[in-house]
Structure 1
């Protein structure tokens, strides 16, 4: 009889434990998350710093790069047009460091995502309930392929790494297996390029990187930052009672976002002719919910 009682107790404990584990898994699986995805669209409208449609500057040429991955350092939901930068709901802030001197984005510990990939997943309970009209994204880095005209007259494809964050601490950068040592802070506009095992690097002019901000008058951003601003078409509300995941897709315009000065007026990027990179900034942001 004692043996039967012992077996019954063990069976009961195991059953309760199994139920507890199942409930934990169910609760974990049912928790609603905020999921932020990235999208790169070469057909999306091309905007200037004030958030208005613009064409390529006279004397320049441009192309739409094929972006493979991107990094952001800050994401904020803003309730209205007068919400100052930092006064909204900050849902993400990347790592920063003073290893290179002044405070800078820590590139080695940055978060990356590709086209139609998830950049961030956090519990919705960690996001303040409210209604939001705008999203601000401080971009840090983008990497993708561009075409260029070589001195021999042939067109090749190379990989461009562009640092658009306000300041970036970089130890090393790997492009297609080629390691570029930097070990320093680099301001907005620093770039590196790789093709066929050959690498180069340079710096775009100060203030040349386009950062679309339709709230320029009511909510300006610091000079030299890359806080791109976009409007939710019908607003975005978090009730605090969500039971399902909410997916926000950040669609960035890459429409002729790589721009250079023309020496040979042929619309082709020709670095051997002395054509200089002047702009690598993204050309607009449209956020979509679900």
Structure 2
């Protein structure tokens, strides 16, 4: 019996050792990890990627961004790489349910500040040297301040800034808004104290910074921000560890409106209207693990 017990224990130890040995040979596949960052201090840019001041007769504030969604992410080797000719690492779902082709909001990935938005195996990304990244932002949800009857309150702004958006419904601070149709870039909803209003910003009201507007333009009505890697991004195809890209978006004074009362306070009841809701720049940062 003692010999049997000893033999059994030896077998268990042997199997356990083999198991550990096999596990040590197993390595996780390296990934391209993409994170989101919303920076209130990052330089505020215009459509041409140049530093921008607040428009005359307007005022602006920096919102607290709660969520954001991107529909498209592309790595571009050079400043002359046209949109769509780089390495497309992500493209969200689209649908014709609303008539014309549109982003399917029900399938959108919603990301928060500092969170991992996307993980892609590096084996699925073409090896090469990349200088630029393009990101099509489709949705953002943020908290803003406004003035009502002399009282400063907060509300939640949801804005759809993709080229075209098919929306069945969406949640804004616990309130469900039913749409069941397509909405072009600039559709928004505002919630405060349980009440929701919505509207459509004028065409061209969304700023989309693109420093490559001369060599690599983007289509009118899209929201494809372009940002440059400070030291480039190199993917060899032989990586054994993750590569992380932090997509840092400028939200500095990104919520802009036309002033009626020149006090720097957003006051919808006084007839002040939203003039811009676009993110104000993109800087990608690379970390090699």
Q: TM-score, normalised by structure 1?
A: 0.92
Q: What residue number does 1:32 align with? A: 30
Q: What residue number does 1:102 align with? A: 100
d(CA) in 2 for partners of 1:121 and 1:275?
Answer: 41
Q: What residue number does 1:154 align with? A: 151
For residues 1-290 of structure 1, what are the structure 2 equivalents within 5 Å?
18=19, 22=23, 26-28=26-28, 31-150=29-148, 152-290=149-287
**1:115 Cα deviation after fit:** 0.4
Number of residue-to-residue matches in the alignment: 283
Structure 2 residue runs without a partner (length 5+) = none
Deviation track 1:224-281 (CA, whole Å, cap 9, x = no partner) reads 0000000001111111111111110000000110111111111111001111111100
Q: CA RMSD in A?
A: 2.0
Deviation track 1:72-128 (CA, whole Å, cap 9, x = no partner) reads 000000000000101000000011111111111111110111001110011111111
**1:179 Cα deviation after fit:** 0.8
d(CA) in 1 for partners of 2:120 and 2:18?
Answer: 28
Structure 1 residue runs without a partner (length 5+) = none
**1:158 Cα deviation after fit:** 0.4
d(CA) in 2 for partners of 1:156 and 1:21?
Answer: 60
Deviation track 1:36-89 (CA, whole Å, cap 9, x = no partner) reads 000001111000000001101101111111001100000000000000101000
**1:27 Cα deviation after fit:** 2.4
Q: Which aligned runs of 4 or more in structure 1 are off by greater than 2 angstroms? A: 10-24
**1:173 Cα deviation after fit:** 1.1
**1:22 Cα deviation after fit:** 2.3
> SS at 1:112's partner residue?
coil
> SS at 2:27's partner residue?
helix
Q: TM-score, normalised by structure 2?
A: 0.93
Moved more, 10-19 or 41-50: 10-19
d(CA) in 2 for partners of 1:17 and 1:73?
Answer: 45
